[in-house]
Each structure stands twice: as structure tokens, then as C-alpha cells.
Amino acid sequence: MAFQTPDWVKHAVFYQIFPDRFARTQQHLNDPAMAVTLEPWESPPTPFGYKGGDLWGVAEKLDYLADLGVTAIYMTPIFQSACNHRYHTHDYYQVDPLLGGNPAFFDLLEAAHAKDIKVVLDGVFNHCSRGFFFFNDILENGPNSPWLEWFEVGGWPLSAYDGSQPANYRSWIDNRALPAFKHDHPAVREYLMRVGEYWVRQGIDGWRLDVPFEIKTEGFWQEFRDRIKAINPEAYIVGEVWTDASQWLDGTQFDGVMNYMFTGPTMAFTAGDRIRMDLVEKPHYYPYPALDAAGYGENIQQLLALYPWEIQLTQLNLLSSHDVARIYSVVNGDDASMVLSTLLLLTFPGAPSIYYGDEVGLPGELDPDCRRTFPPEKEWHLDLLTVHRELIALRHRHPALRIGTYDVLHAEGQVYGFSRTLGSDRILVFLNAGEGSAPAIATDTLISEGQTVHEVFSYHGATWNQNSLTLPSRSAVVVTVE
């Protein structure tokens, strides 16, 4: 089947933002109506407290993001909600007032687009919240509510808050705070389709879809794609699917998924036994057991064979997110593991996504700790920030790193090497994830006679000599071949 995914995504560098924790402006603090109690910005995050990050604050950070090389923002939910993560949607047409409401969002959207930065929103279409008007009407009016058929109610009285009583309605993972929609109902389906269409018409550049595998209604995601693409054929539709997503990546539904199948093996190879098992055994993305180069290469080859190339180029690749512990904590603060993982992320097919703060070494354990506030500059790991800037700039300079072929050249011991090639643009990437220096690698089989090699990135003293490649402990090198 021939199909097209959005071209801009193939060249994008994403930055994931948890809005309550990224940046707090002073604008709304001057509004007496928003004089609310917030947690101290620098205090540890809690499950229920608000830090007061907002969308004007994001807009004020756009220069920082542009300087980093970011070309797209994905934000976790921004719609009105009664929780700091906003996956409990109250109103799909209103941006949360703590974030600045619709005016702040439209200001941000305009400012981002002025800097050629795309904006992708989080669509929570499987479930809503107890405060969602249609469900709240049921709580108020019981079996007399006109919205009764929008949800699966199993008995009366509903117990929306008393955990000692049965909830008597279907909810996501039996969490009574998240009533699940009845997607087979035509009105529900139409309502959610119109929400998706509305925000694309307002100018957003795509949707990240929360737990889309929970929606079993036949044809739902096919219709969603058709209706979104009819408004903007270049809108990005990316699903939160952690495992093999083949059934959703057939060209009729999503353009890509959050590629945790890249995340796990990459960290298992670069960090090995440095992985903190207490942080990774619950979320199922498996950055363990430790992999050698051959094992990593096998995982990557299997992943690249799983989906059509057109889909591979629009996967959303990541090392951290709001759902898992941050990579800097997972690798136990080991800078080399962080750098080597970041190198593999930014040289892999698909769109790399950086979770806010990872680029400056922000730690964070399991939720809610992985949702810390963005740190002040005095706490930044500047060496990590420099590496991110260099590798993002390298990706932007070389089309081969974005849409070129990916070929494994070497996978022995702890040394892994591959090429990215697009016409005359050829990049070679080699890294040694091991503790000891790797045996010198002859380079004559890697390049043709008369070709010139230019070193464009080196870490921990790795060098491409005239006839051999030297890779000290925990090092990497990237070269261009002309």
C-alpha cells in the first residue's frame, strides 16, 4: 500500500514539554483572578500539587529552544483539567486557565510558528474526567441524564469518589477518576472527531494520541486520520504504543508511535549494568538486560524491519518521557551513558524527541519525580548541553542523518558502528560502550580509495586515523566521507 507521512517530521527535532513544570511567566501572576496557591517552583513535585508553569512561559523559552535546534514541540495535555498532568480532561475546547487559557495558547502557537517551530498536542480521547460536563451531568441527574449513553453505566448509585463502594461505570484501568467513553456510540465518536478537527483548524501541527490501543471501535482511527488529513495532509498523528505497533502503522491510521522499542535496547547497550533496575522494572520498555554490540545491532535490525521505511522516518524516538524515569537517573548519573545514548538517538531514522531538561542533565525517578521543574541555569550540566547542541546541529546539517539509509558496519564486543547514506552524503558513526579501549579497527574496508574523511564529532578521545579507528573506553566518533 502506498502512503505518505508528513515530510516535516522526517527532518524535525522534537522537545517534549510537561507544561506545569517547564516555565512560569509573570504575566498571569499580575492577574488578581489567578492569585492562586502554588507549590514552590524548586520543591520536589507531588502527585497533586501545581507548580504554575504556563504557556506564556513556554513562549518566553522559544529562543532557548531554537538555539538548541528544536523544530517541534510536543506538549502533554493542556486542556482544562483538575490535575497537574491534565490527562483528566474537563473541556476539550478550553485550555486550562492555570496555563493561561486559550489566549496564552494562541500566543504561543503564533510565536512558535514565527520561529518555524511546529506544535503537537496530546489527545486524550479514550477517557475524560469526572468533571467533564457530560459525565458530571450523570453524577447530578443519575438515570435521567441525557448523556447516559455516552458512558457504560452498570448500576446505581454511581460512586465517583467513595473507594469503598463499586464505581458502577467503566473507567480506564479501573481508575474511577477517568470514565471511559463509549466509542461505539455515534454521538461520542462524532464529538471526538470534531475535537480533533477543531484544533487542527486552529493551526496545531498534529496530535499525540494517549493510549490509543484502548479504543477498540472498528474504523475509529482510520476515520480520525481521514478527517485530520483532509484539513491538513501534513498533520502528524503519533500514537502512544510501547510495543510492536504494526496493526496501527499500516498507513491508514498513525504516522508513527512513541518508539520505546528504540529506547530500551539503546540504554541497555550504552549503560549496560549501570541501569538502576528499581527505576525500570515497572514501566515495560526493557532497558535491560545489558546488551553487547551484536545484541544491540540485532535489536535495531529487527526494529527497522518491523515497519515500512516511510513509517520509520516518522517514528518519535525518545530516551525519557513523563511516563518513565529520566535517563540521567536510570543510568545512575553516568555522563558517558547519557552522551552515547544521545548520539544514537540523534543519528537514528525517525524524529528524535528530547524530554525537557534531559539536555541539561535533569534527574528524575519514577512519577511524579520524572516531572520535576526545569532547573535554574546554575544547576545545568553544561557539557551535556553542548553535546546536545552539537549533535542536533550535525543532524540538521546532514540529510543523510535524517532520511538516509541505515547500515550496520561493525558489531563486535562493545563496539558498534553504522553508516547513514543519502547520495553523496555519507556519515559513519562508531562508539565503544565498553570500559576498556577497543582494538584498533582498520578503516580501509569502510571507505573507498580516494575518499576523504572529516571528523565532525568526537567524545572521550576517539579518533579516525589515516588507516585505523581508535576508540578509547566509553568513546565515540562521527565522520563524514567525501
pLDDT digits (tens, 9 = 90+) for 63-97: 999 999 999 999 999 999 999 999 999 999 999 99
Residue in the structure block whose three cell numbers are 478550553: 94
Geometric angle at alpha carbon 222, from 216 and 223, rounded to 5°: 100
Predicted confidence (pLDDT) at residue 397 exceeds the cutoff of 80: yes
Q: Which fold has domain 7-126+181-397?
A: TIM Barrel (3.20.20)
pLDDT digits (tens, 9 = 90+) for 290-331: 999 999 999 999 999 999 999 999 999 999 999 999 999 999
What is the C-alpha to C-alpha distance for residues 459 and 26, in angstroms, rounded to an integer?
40
Choose the weakest-confidence range: 279-293, 317-331, 443-457. 443-457
Predicted confidence (pLDDT) at residue 401 exceeds the cutoff of 70: yes
Predicted confidence (pLDDT) at residue 31 exceeds the cutoff of 90: no
Predicted confidence (pLDDT) at residue 27 exceeds the cutoff of 80: no
Choose the weakest-confidence range: 29-38, 128-137, 288-297. 29-38
So what's the pLDDT on residue 467? 86
So what's the pLDDT on residue 1? 58
| Nine cell digits for residue 420 | 547513514
So what's the pLDDT on residue 29? 62
What is the arithmetic mean of pLDDT over 412-425? 97
Backbone angles phi, psi at 415, to 5 degrees: -105, 125
Element (H, E) at 228: helix 220-231
So what's the pLDDT on residue 28? 64
What is the arithmetic mean of pLDDT over 410-417? 98
Of 210, 223, 334, 359, the active-site residue reads: 210
Of 96, 240, 255, 292, the active-site residue reads: 240
What is the C-alpha to C-alpha distance for residues 78 and 95, in angstroms, rounded to an integer?
6
Is 218 annotated in the active site? no
Q: Which fold has domain 404-481?
A: Immunoglobulin-like (2.60.40)
CB neighbourhood size of 185 (10 A): 15
What is the C-alpha to C-alpha distance for residues 470 and 233, in angstroms, rounded to an integer?
47
Domain range list for the chain: 7-126+181-397, 404-481
8 Å CB contact between 181 and 149: no
Average pLDDT value for the chain? 96
Q: Which of 360, 356, 366 has its CA nearest to residue 329?
A: 366
Q: Which of 371, 358, 379, 380 has its CA nearest to residue 45?
A: 371
Is 210 annotated in the active site? yes
- Percent of the chain scoring above 90 in pLDDT: 93
Taken in order 458, 460, 461, 463, is the CA torsion positive or negative? negative
Q: What b/e readout covers 40-58, taking b as 16+ CB neighbours within 10 angstroms?
A: eeeeebeeebbbbbbbbbb
So what's the pLDDT on residue 34? 76
One-letter identity of residue 167:
A
| Nine cell digits for residue 244 | 510492536
